[in-house]
Chains A and B, each alone.
Chain A
Amino acid sequence: MKRSEYVAIGAIGLLAVATVWPLIQTAPPENDPALNKGDGFQSLAFASLAECKDAQIVTEAICDTEYAKASMASVEDAPKFEALKDCETEYGANQCRPATWNGASVYIPAMAGVLIARSLAGAAAASQPLYPPRVGPQSCPPGVSAIDRPECQSRSAGGGGSSRSSYYSTGSGRTISRTAGAVAISLGLPPRTAVSRSSVSRTGSSSSSPGTPSRSSSSTTTSHSTSTTVSRGGFGSTSRSYSSSGS
């Protein structure tokens, strides 16, 4: 991928996490338990490390590595919320956990599984964390068809360890469904609200309390040395002759 994995700005918080999963985007949306064909990759969803190993589809070593990679990636990847209740509104009760991101305390949905893509040609594999399905009001606006938005039917399904039909979401808000007994996945549409719901607008900017989301303005100058200014205005005169100092 040649673009940023996420973009956040103070004005509105996290814009979005890039849809980093080209394998998902190109896989056919069908519940074929054998394979998602067509691009030389097989995409597999597992609810836990143990389930990955038990399934014996990829080697235990791949399960270990990819699960670890997904866990490590999950703080960066997951939508972030300043308050626990906002996260739970989106993902359901007891589905969120605290985390530290760039020095700020945030809440993120707890990892509910891992999506592993393995190359059918060789040993190459990639993974990304999966989260509980989004149950928040934004996910299921009134009148939206459950065919388009499978998560609307799955409020109680959770992403947990069940081997029956279950739903997950990705960091970018895409829905992943996994059908009974099978590990193949099908793909829901991305949410209509492509801009993330995250409410984290700022990330750790205060030296005195790293780990606390800052709500104050950016000019916390308490700990900085001051001096006595004897003269001002010695810079800026040239700009008055021109329209811009940028280029």
Chain B
Amino acid sequence: MQRIRLTERPDWRMKAESYGFPFHTIGGEVYWDESIAWRFSLREIEEDLEAPTGELEQLCLAFVAEAIKHPAILTRLGIPEMYWSFVRESWQRGDRNLYGRFDLAYDGKTPAKLLEYNADTPTSLFEASVFQWSWLEDQMAAGGLPAGSDQFNSLHERLVKALRNIRRGQHFLLHLASVADSQEDKATVAYLADCARQAGLETKELPIEQIGIDSGGQFTDGDDVLIRVLFKLYPWEWLFKEAFGRHLPAARTQFIEPPWKALLSTKGLMPMLWEMAPNHKNLLASYFADDPRCASLGDRVEKPLHSREGANIRVIRAGAETQSTPGDYGGPAIVQALAPTAEFPGGHAIIGSWVVASEPAGIGIREDAGLITRDTARFVPHFIEGE
């Protein structure tokens, strides 16, 4: 694993825009940064990232199967009691999931460690799946990287296939909802809609605010069309507490991600996994903040159960806070041992390791100045050196 400097494609900004990826630069700061690339060996990818990702996903699925039986766990994870059956039934019915992203600390020397699992509403998908892929093809064609290089990234192919399989190959209309005023979320949804059309589905994108309810308690779109299958780039914990939340259990809508993902898309998962598989080589010691065992952790990180984009996080080293981020997220928190991440002069990199339909599907790398990866992080492409 090595960080190298590379010549940028002269036309990458134009390409990004023609591909529908306008947020390559955010607030004047570069977000997609191809002046840098991370090089991996095939062994590092397959043994240190791909296999552990598959293993972590299996661990998570085993956790869901267990958690739905225990009110104490559901309570600890903050799932309101009125949704317990809703979550449980979605698991028992076998509602299919589409995708998720494990954020891993990996330095190329020690086993990758799970920082958190974005199981419900992961973004940075398009840049990982499409733009990173075309970057490699362009670099190989131009001689910037040796022909025969590769990339751990079968996201596009797997997304198309997984979407086709969501209803076991049946044709259906897929609604995709995201927050009206978030351009980045809209772009993620537009890309998934594109994948769905390639899978032969009909699609309809809509702002989540536009969703309506009919007299029978069924969800409708802005044209009064019933929503049968809904991809929602909107967290379960928010849906649960909003006005229409009470209609969720009785609606006959199939959700992507399914309700059982609510058990995984919380940092409360970290102490739960640690308890299930203590000392697993890819897990960090983690406890809920009110657990006295937190004292045993040494250098550590505190995170609220549901913070996003690195908000409200505190890093504590040698007993003193060394870094913290502001934010609006409060509530219960967890404490996690501090993990060694890939370092470079001036920053740290973390690996977003994707699963599609619970299979490892590729990685994307984000770099940020401090130890906490925030929405200011830069996305940096990677490649696998030829054999």
Residues A245 and B179 in contact, CB atoms below 8 Å apart: yes
Q: Cβ of A195 < 8 Å from any Cβ of B?
A: yes
Chain B interface, DSSP helix/strand/loop, else mixed: mixed
A173 to chain B, nearest CB (A): 9
Residues A221 and B182 in contact, CB atoms below 8 Å apart: no
A247 / chain B contacts, CB cutoff of 8 Å: 118, 120-123, 235, 265, 308-309
A231 / chain B contacts, CB cutoff of 8 Å: 212-213
Alpha-carbon distance between A25 and B387 when the two chains are bound, in angstroms:
12
The residue of chain A having its C-beta at the shortest distance from the C-beta of B216 within the complex is: A227
Q: A19-B147, A245-B179 are in contact. Are A9 and B328 (CB under 8 A)?
A: no
Q: Cβ of A218 < 8 Å from any Cβ of B?
A: yes
Residues B225 and A3 in contact, CB atoms below 8 Å apart: no
Residues A226 and B148 in contact, CB atoms below 8 Å apart: no
B303 to chain A, nearest CB (A): 12
The residue of chain B having its C-beta at the shortest distance from the C-beta of A190 within the complex is: B141
Alpha-carbon distance between A219 and B173 when the two chains are bound, in angstroms:
9
The residue of chain A having its C-beta at the shortest distance from the C-beta of B138 within the complex is: A194
Residues B309 and A243 in contact, CB atoms below 8 Å apart: yes
B117 to chain A, nearest CB (A): 10
B129 / chain A contacts, CB cutoff of 8 Å: 4, 7
A93 to chain B, nearest CB (A): 28
A207 / chain B contacts, CB cutoff of 8 Å: 171, 202
Q: Cβ of B47 < 8 Å from any Cβ of A?
A: no
A7 / chain B contacts, CB cutoff of 8 Å: 129-130, 133-134, 156
Alpha-carbon distance between A71 and B378 when the two chains are bound, in angstroms:
42
Which of A2, A8, A226, A235 touches B225 (beta carbons < 8 Å)? A226
Which of A5, A206, A230, A237 touches B215 (beta carbons < 8 Å)? A230
Alpha-carbon distance between A239 and B237 when the two chains are bound, in angstroms:
11
Q: Cβ of B340 < 8 Å from any Cβ of A?
A: no
Q: Cβ of B53 < 8 Å from any Cβ of A?
A: no
The residue of chain B having its C-beta at the shortest distance from the C-beta of A17 within the complex is: B137
Residues A239 and B386 in contact, CB atoms below 8 Å apart: no
Q: A228-B224, A244-B182 are in contact. Are A3 and B204 (CB under 8 A)?
A: no
Q: Cβ of A137 < 8 Å from any Cβ of B?
A: no
Q: Cβ of B188 < 8 Å from any Cβ of A?
A: yes
The residue of chain A having its C-beta at the shortest distance from the C-beta of B197 within the complex is: A205
Residues A236 and B209 in contact, CB atoms below 8 Å apart: yes
B20 / chain A contacts, CB cutoff of 8 Å: 9-11
The residue of chain B having its C-beta at the shortest distance from the C-beta of A193 within the complex is: B141
Q: A26-B148, A204-B200 are in contact. Are A246 and B209 (CB under 8 A)?
A: no
- Could you give, for residues 179-219 of chain A, a 1 whenever the CB lies within 8 Å of some chain B CB and a 0 otherwise? 00000000000100011000000111111001000000011
Q: Cβ of B239 < 8 Å from any Cβ of A?
A: yes
The residue of chain B having its C-beta at the shortest distance from the C-beta of A203 within the complex is: B198
Chain A contact residue count (CB 8 A cutoff): 58
Residues B375 and A244 in contact, CB atoms below 8 Å apart: yes
Which of B148, B185, B214, B375 touches A22 (beta carbons < 8 Å)? B148
Residues B212 and A229 in contact, CB atoms below 8 Å apart: yes
Alpha-carbon distance between A206 and B173 when the two chains are bound, in angstroms:
10
Q: Cβ of A157 < 8 Å from any Cβ of B?
A: no
Alpha-carbon distance between A179 and B9 when the two chains are bound, in angstroms:
35
A103 / chain B contacts, CB cutoff of 8 Å: 200
Residues A203 and B154 in contact, CB atoms below 8 Å apart: no
Question: Interface-forming stretch among B56-64, B71-79, B90-98, B241-249?
Answer: B241-249
Which of B42, B198, B226 touches A8 (beta carbons < 8 Å)? B198
Q: Cβ of B223 < 8 Å from any Cβ of A?
A: yes
Alpha-carbon distance between A246 and B148 when the two chains are bound, in angstroms:
34
The residue of chain A having its C-beta at the shortest distance from the C-beta of B160 within the complex is: A102
> Quick one: which of B292-347 are within 8 Å of A by CB?
308-309, 328
A-B contact pairs, 16 of them (CB 8 A): A4-B156, A6-B157, A9-B20, A26-B148, A195-B15, A195-B134, A220-B202, A224-B226, A227-B226, A228-B215, A231-B213, A235-B208, A236-B234, A245-B235, A246-B184, A247-B122
| Across the A-B interface, the 9 shortest Cβ-Cβ residue pairs | A234-B244, A246-B123, A25-B147, A229-B212, A236-B209, A234-B243, A238-B238, A227-B214, A232-B212
Beyond A26-B147, A205-B202, A244-B123, 16 additional pairs, beta carbon < 8 A: A2-B45, A4-B155, A22-B386, A194-B141, A195-B134, A219-B202, A229-B224, A230-B212, A235-B239, A239-B182, A244-B184, A244-B185, A245-B178, A245-B179, A247-B121, A247-B123
List B residues at the A interface (Cβ < 8 Å).
Answer: 15, 18-20, 42, 45, 50, 118, 120-123, 129-130, 133-134, 136-138, 140-142, 147-148, 150-158, 171, 173, 177-180, 182, 184-185, 188, 191, 193-194, 197-205, 207-216, 218, 220, 223-226, 233-235, 238-239, 241-245, 247, 265, 308-309, 328, 362, 375, 384, 386
